[in-house]
Amino acid sequence: MKTHIIRPITATLSVIILLALGACSSTDNSSSAQNANQSTTAQNTNSPTSKNPLFSDKNVAVAKNFKATTVLQGLERPWGMTWLTDGAMLITERPGRVRIVRNGTLDPNPIAGVPEIFASNQGGLMDVSVHPNFEKNAKVYFTYSHGTSQANRTRVARATLDGSTFKNWEVIFQVSQAKPGGQHFGSRIVWLPDNTMLVAIGDGGNPPTRLNGDFIRKQAQNLNSHLGKVVRLNDDGSIPKDNPFAASDNADQAIYSYGHRNIQGMAFDSDANRLWSTEHGSRGGDELNLVEAGKNYGWPEVTHSKEYTGGEISSERSRPGMIDPKVVWTPAIAPSGLAFYSNDRFGVWKGDLFAGGLVSGDVRRIDLDANGNVVKEESIPIGGRVRDVRQGPDGGLYVLTDEQDGKLISIEPTQS
């Protein structure tokens, strides 16, 4: 369990953030004008909104014009959700169950055919995603932790949905090294337009957790380890030949990007071809990243995060050859779940990112300009730990809360 302590920030930083927030407090109605201004002046301006990254503190503006509606409850620690082509919805529960919602009603019986899962601390059944050709092949994909408290690893499996049963559960990928403890498994699944899949894998845990004689988190910079990575796989778990390290003798060919601590939010903008992710820092320094093939996102060499005890993890916040985040959240919001909203149903939210926060108990709406720069951010309070945020096939925006009696909640703007 993450514990986050709010610390006073320095006076100088406060002034910068207050200026930034002042510039970000305008209403939705002005956002298109602000975007236009942003995109024409981003090259030469010192406008706070053009800073990269955006430093977000606890004073983020609260959204005014929105509505949150509980769709259903009675989910135990729900983690991921997806929709079938007939409109039914699958929701994972971290202890190891898959629930199905048909016509707005939660079936009291979990879907059969899920094997035993290592469900402990942060581990368990995590993400769920249907194959892009689900209508033809009925394949559903999962990420979960497998093993024991002494030796466990994140796995990716697929199974065929046959009525209310999963058949032919098949492990198609697993992290190559077993690790101890119950922390930092990741994970999210995102499909790319070429039907390859990206899977986020956590760094394995906080100190004192060790692997191969050093803190396990250092594996995020080890190109022969899957820990602290995004990996790219074909739909059968084989490695695409055009992966960024496919031709390298000194790197694992599954790796897509590296230097990640623990990604639990990942979303693809298919219009602009951009992959976004949110990852947990330890004490502060949570990140929104624009993820590109072959790039290094810095952890733990470069970070705005601090040790839970308050000490420095690194003195470096940025380094040539490593990619800076687009948003830094201090204090931590503990980000989990990320949606890129692309539908016309909620026009004022189109083109924005929606990032869930476990500790902040809200969804952060992140307004992007056409170039993918973060313009502003606001908070949509949910009143519970937000584990996942997804756009539904109906153009709705849905939220899962990580509670013993977890909820499915829909959110929508009340002003067009």
Strand partners of residue 386:
401
CA distance 44 to 318: 21
Nearer to Ca ion, 142 or 297 (CB): 297
| In the complex, least distance from residue 338 CB atom to Ca ion, rounded to whole angstroms | 15
Give 377-381 contacts, CB < 8 A, sequence gap 24+: 377/24, 377/54, 377/56, 377/60, 377/61, 377/327, 378/24, 378/60, 378/61, 378/62, 378/63, 379/60, 379/61, 379/62, 379/63, 380/62, 380/63, 380/66, 380/68, 380/354, 380/411, 381/62, 381/68
Q: Could you tell me which stretch among 73-81, 153-161, 294-302, 332-340 binds Ca ion (CB under 5 A)?
A: 294-302
Q: How many CB atoms lie within 10 A of CB 394?
A: 12
Choose one: 148-156, 178-186, 212-220, 290-298; the region binding Ca ion (CB under 5 A). Answer: 290-298
Q: How far apart are CA 321 and CA 139, in angstroms?
A: 38
Tell me whether residue 72 or residue 322 sits nearer to Ca ion (CB atom). Answer: 322
Q: Which stretch binds Ca ion (CB under 5 A): 81-89, 95-103, 291-299, 313-321?
A: 291-299
Min dist. Cβ of residue 306 to Ca ion (A): 14
Under the binding rule (CB under 5 A), the answer on residue 166 touching Ca ion is: no
Closer residue to Ca ion, CB minimum distance, 119 or 323: 323
Show contacts with Ca ion in window 22-81 (CB under 5 A): none
The one among 166, 173, 297, 341 contacting Ca ion by CB under 5 A? 297
Q: Which of 240, 284, 298, 335 binds Ca ion (CB under 5 A)?
A: 298
What CA–CA distance (Å, rounded) separates 390 from 410? 10
Q: Using an 8 Å Cβ cutoff, are 258 and 223 in contact?
A: yes
- Write down the least CB distance from residue 186 to Ca ion, Å: 15
Name the residues annotated as catalytic: 184
Residue 297: CB minimum distance to Ca ion, A? 4
Q: Tell the smallest beta-carbon distance from residue 180 to Ca ion (Å).
A: 25
Q: Pick the closer one to Ca ion by CB: 326 or 365.
A: 326
Q: Which is nearer to Ca ion, 284 or 298 (CB)?
A: 298
Tokens, residue 182: 């119950």
Query: Residue 205 and residue 282: Cα distance in Å, rounded?
Result: 10
- Please confirm whether the linkage preceding 300 is cis (ω < 30° from 0): yes
Total of chain residues touching Ca ion, rule CB under 5 A: 2
Residues that bind Ca ion (CB under 5 A): 297-298
